[in-house]
Amino acid sequence: MAYAALLSLTQTLEQILGSRSEEKQIKSLHEKLSFLLLFLEDFSHKSTETIASLEVRIRDATYEAEDIIELHMSKQILLESACQGVISCFWEIISALQIMMPVFHNSERRVEFKQHNFKEIYDGLQKIIIEIDSISEEVEKMKAMNDIEGFSADGLTRINDPLSGIEGIEEVVNANDRNDVVDLQPSNSLNATSSKSASTNKNFMVGFEDDSLQIKEELVGQPSRLKFISIVGMGGIGKTTLARNIYNDSSIEYHFYIRAWITLSREYRVQELLLHLLKSMGDLTDEMIRKETDELKTLVYQRLKGNRYLIVMDDVWDAKVFDEFRRIFPDDYNGSRIIMTSRLSSVAVNTDSSGFIHHLSFLSPEQSWSLLCQKALGNECCPPELKDIGRRIAEKCRGLPLTLVVIGGVLYKAEKKRASWEYVAKNVKSAVTGNHDDFMETLSSSYNHLPHRLRACFLYMGVFPEDFVIPVSYLIRLWVAEGFLKPNTHKSLEEVAKEYLEELIERNLIMVCDRICTGEIKTCSIHDSMRELCMRKAQEEKFLYVANQKFDTSSEVVKNQRHLSIHPYVLNAVIYYSTFRSLLYFSFYLLPNSLCFQLLRVLEAGNIDFSEFPKEILKLSNLRYIALSCSGKFKIPASISKLCNLQTLIVFQGYFAERLFLPRELLKMPQLRHLLFDKAVLLCSHGPQNVNLQTLSGVIDFKLTQETLRTIPNLRTLGISYHCEPQTELSFYCLENLVHLHQLESFKCKVISNDWTCIPLPQNLAFPPNLKKLTLSGCRLSRHNMFPGNLPNLEVLKLKEVAFENNAWETEGEFSRLKFLHVETRRFKIWEAEAAHFPSLQCLCLRGCTSLKCIPSGIGEILTLQQIILYGCTITVENSANSILKEQQDWGNYDLKVHVNSNYFGNKDINGNLYRKLRKIRKDVKQQPRHTKLLNFGRKCEIWEERSKKDQSGRK
């Protein structure tokens, strides 16, 4: 975590010092930190003891410096009335540091130094600066020598004896790689050493049958040109096992004249790989070992030329390797193939954009059970009394073959009794991660290969409870607040965070749960095994401690951590240390001293209802992120403006919470980026511009005056609800000024009338040209304000309980980029539209349209249409959707899918059993923050509904 620590401290200095950063002393310190950052970026692919030792020293020194600086700030804020006072007073400390030269120029400065009692701070920082200087000098020497532990500057090859590593080359083809599922042999108990079972004498292909067939077809089919076939997936998912079984298949062996297998690593030697290739082909001689790299390339090329060959390159981490090898693989248009396995999707794409990429998925519950049985029972049948508990164990492995093999080995040597298997079921995690170094080593290589800039973001995934579905917007706000992201002058921090997330997904470290129709990731999650890796590595790196039922508050391990995650069922724990940067509560029990941490940046307490605003928060001057739930007469004080670093404020209201009134000072806080509420009143503000504010959601009756909009010019997301009398006109709230928010991309407007009538939108309403998502609820639409010329970039349109003129929507113009259309209203009888109105539409969703007669036939002519989803619509609408489907199928288009559910809520059988199940699910989601409950609740309902349908079909 040296990189994250350096990045955080440099940003802290830049933010605090501002225009004073040109001072020689501060510039020197900042340059040293920036130099070390570049060093870690340049050598992120190295993993030597020397660099590891340096990283530990950098991390510890930077942590200590940041603690001293921010601790003084938090104390000083109590004595100052404004943030500027803190900055100027803090400057006196920085000026007192002897970074480059003595600074006690006169007696007045010495008196000032004593008055502020800075001696202790000065001594502490001086000691750290000496350590940073020492580290920098050591790094300079290394760079000058251009040799770090035997590595050359290009970062790809090692400078060693060219014959090193060749002694055991004869074992290359037959040795199983560590990434292979079968490498981990079964154990006889949770603490036993490895031993082979009868079932491990061959590589089982449980769950890979379809994958194997598909890849074989690519191997022996067209085209005849040289083709790359990539097998991509998470570590331990079985890439090597699948490739090895295909490689050894008799039909494949017969089809190719030459086959060869090489296993790469993060640091490889081209010469050594060439020798491995020749050995695998059976051509290696003593004379070849002494040849140069170019001569070996020629030998390999000549051996392959004119022959149909199959080369397997296992465990590829960098596409650059193919720059070295591409010319030695001749393309004679004879059907030669190259199989590559990798954990990185980007490697597969960069290798050959026209090649075939096969993504391995997790095993299904049935496949998991089958693999577990084979590993645990060999050729025996499972005793009836063990089937239910065995299936439960298999389910806990979450479809990862590597985990199933390890647990299968544990069960193989255990007694075939229910009590033994029950014990394993309760200790699956400890059985997998606690006693099998090979298992963690397999997963750890994914982490070790991460660039330094991604490591903190990945390890932070460990803060979330098991099976947690994470909204991407929620995750990004946390990453930004924690300071994990390196600023980019051309992109916002949120955009940088999205790129980081995409890269972690490409590396198969984070899983996508759901995407919106525009392709953006909506929710994500992390596999249990990867989560265990995160928690283990994070604790080792003094980065994160996860408090569970066994939370030990007196442990020295807790003392050194930077982030603390409180998981469910932690009761009344007292924390004695105050150096945490973040506290995330996934429990609904408030710790008694939870708000006394002076260095806290992130406080996630969305599960805990506060009857009044916790005043202790106002003392935490370093806070950047606050999430709370409130009840009753909750009031946010104007003094919240003292939190000059605050970026995100989230306040959700319980069922009995009254309307929340927000202070005017809120919009004047310069660092604010996101404000999210359920129902809050925010009065107009005429203060200075807040250029950082991007999200303002959940505000009531917000008046869009020109003066107010000038204070928030860069707003990207806006969510407003208006509570209107029947005679109220929405023009009173100046909605016509919305067009001046040029950066706005998402707008939600909900109108609530006392008599449930729909209030007309202003006829002169124009939307910002950059708008991509628009949701309108409870309003009356006319052709004037629905003209798509105002919405050239719109991709998502949701119309909920709206009313159209004459109950008819006569679509005009062209929604050129619209991909998702959701209409949910009873005041909707006639819809006239053609394919030309929605040329890019991918999904149409109609919900509760009980008056609509039919879907326009022209909708079926849209070439991009993929889904029609109906909930609680009339039988005539369902019939028109099925007619469109049949017509498309008659034309040979089988891509269009129609999903029909006659119930408005999407559940066909609302009965007592369902309600009982929903109550249980609701209990489970109480452990999660308010702003993620609905997503997780909906996902669990979908899973339960799918299982119910399968059970019903099985009974039939």
For residue 876, being part of any structural domain is answered with no
Same domain, 121 and 218: no
Is 423 a domain residue? yes
What local confidence, expressed as pLDDT, does residue 435 receive?
57
Structural domain containing residue 950: 914-955
Total domains, the chain: 5
Confidence at 747, pLDDT banded by 50, 70, 90: very high
Residues with Cβ within 8 Å of residue 522, at least 6 apart in sequence: 471, 472, 513, 514, 515, 516
pLDDT band for 589, please (50, 70, 90 cuts): low
- pLDDT at position 92: 47
Answer yes or no: do 375 and 350 share one domain: no
Among 194-203, 508-517, 661-670, the least confident range: 194-203
Return the pLDDT at 198. 28
d(CA 820, CA 702): 28
**pLDDT tens readout for residues 462-500:** 999 888 899 999 999 999 999 999 988 889 999 999 999
Q: Has residue 115 got a pLDDT over 70?
A: no
Residues 489 and 409 in one domain: no
> By CB neighbour count within 10 A (0-12 exposed, 13-18 middle, 19+ buried), where does 772 fall?
buried
What share of the chain has pLDDT > 90, as a percent?
27
DSSP string covering 775-787? EEESEEE-TTTT-
Contact 112, 92 (CB under 8 A): yes
CA distances from 223 to 216, 231, 351, 354, 733 (A): 13, 19, 18, 11, 64
* Domain identity same for 390 and 404: yes
Fill in the DSSP letter of residue 327: G
pLDDT value at position 719? Answer: 95
Percentage of the chain lying above the pLDDT 70 cut: 77
Domain final residue pick, 540, 566, 591: 540
Please indicate, yes or no, whether residues 213 and 298 belong to a single structural domain of this protein: yes
Q: What is the pLDDT of residue 518?
A: 79
Per residue in 762-789, pLDDT (tens digit) is: 878 888 989 999 999 988 887 766 666 6
What's residue 96's pLDDT?
40
- With H, G, I as helix, E, B as strand and everything else as coil, classify residue 630: strand
Question: Residue 100 above 60 pLDDT?
Answer: no
Buried b / exposed e along 476-514 (16+ C-beta atoms within 10 A): bbbbbbbbbbbeeeeebbbebbbebbebbebbbbbeebe
Select from 388, 411, 436 the last residue of a domain.
436
pLDDT of residue 166: 34
For residue 388, what is the domain's CATH number? 1.10.8
Q: Residue 934: is its pLDDT beyond 50?
A: no
Residue 212 has pLDDT above 80, yes or no: yes
Q: What is the pLDDT of residue 576?
A: 61
| Domain co-membership, 104 together with 15 | yes
Look at residue 606 and tell me if it is in a domain: no
pLDDT in tens, 9-33: 888 877 766 645 445 666 777 788 8
Residue 332 has pLDDT above 70, yes or no: yes
DSSP 473-511: HHHHHHHHHHT-S--BTTB-HHHHHHHHHHHHHHTTSSE
Q: Mean pLDDT for the chain?
A: 78
Spatial strand order in the sheet of 803-804: 759-760, 779-781, 803-804
Residue 258: pLDDT band (50, 70, 90) is: very high
Q: Is residue 102 part of a domain?
A: yes
Asked whether residue 909 is assigned to any structural domain, the reply reads no
So what's the pLDDT on residue 606?
87
Predicted local distance difference test score (pLDDT) of residue 795: 94
Residue 387 sits in the same domain as residue 328: no
Which of 351-360, 377-386, 739-748 has maximum average pLDDT? 739-748
Of residues 298 and 173, the one with the higher pLDDT is 298
- Within this chain, do residues 411 and 524 fall inside the same structural domain, yes or no? no
pLDDT of residue 684: 74
For residue 245, the model assigns a pLDDT of: 92
* pLDDT at residue 730, rounded to an integer: 83
Euclidean distance between CA atoms 391 and 372, whole angstroms: 9
Q: Is residue 597 part of a domain?
A: no
The residue with greater pLDDT, 687 or 563, is: 563
| pLDDT value for 786 | 67
Q: What is the CATH number of the domain that holds 256?
A: 3.40.50.300
Lowest mean pLDDT among 38-42, 297-301, 334-338: 38-42
* Most confident region among 34-43, 354-363, 380-389, 711-720 by mean pLDDT: 711-720
pLDDT > 50? residue 160: no
Residue 836 within a domain = no
Report d(CA 541, CA 444) in Å as an integer.
14
Please say which residue of 385, 411, 436 terminates a domain.
436
Please report, for the domain that includes residue 532, its CATH number.
Answer: 1.10.10.10
**pLDDT at residue 618 is higher than 60:** yes
Same domain, 282 and 351: yes
For 138, what's the count of Cα atoms within 13 Å in the CB-facing half-sphere? 15
Indicate whether 391 and 337 sit together in one domain: no
Q: What is the pLDDT of residues 426-449, one digit of tens each?
A: 888 777 766 556 777 788 888 888
Question: Per-residue pLDDT averaged across 313-326, rounded?
Answer: 86
Please tell me what DSSP assigns to residue 639.
G
Is 371 within 8 Å of 207 (Cβ atoms)? yes
Higher pLDDT, 146 or 276: 276
Residue 522 lies in a domain: yes
Count the Cβ atoms, other than its own, within 10 Å of residue 152.
12
Task: Tell me: do 314 and 222 sit in the same domain.
Answer: yes
Shared domain for 403 and 484, answered yes or no, is: no
Tell me if 344 sits within 8 A of 232, measured CB to CB. Answer: yes
* Mean predicted confidence (pLDDT) in 815-827: 91
800: confidence class by pLDDT, cuts 50, 70, 90: very high
Nearest Cα neighbor of 25 from 117, 129, 139, 121 is: 129
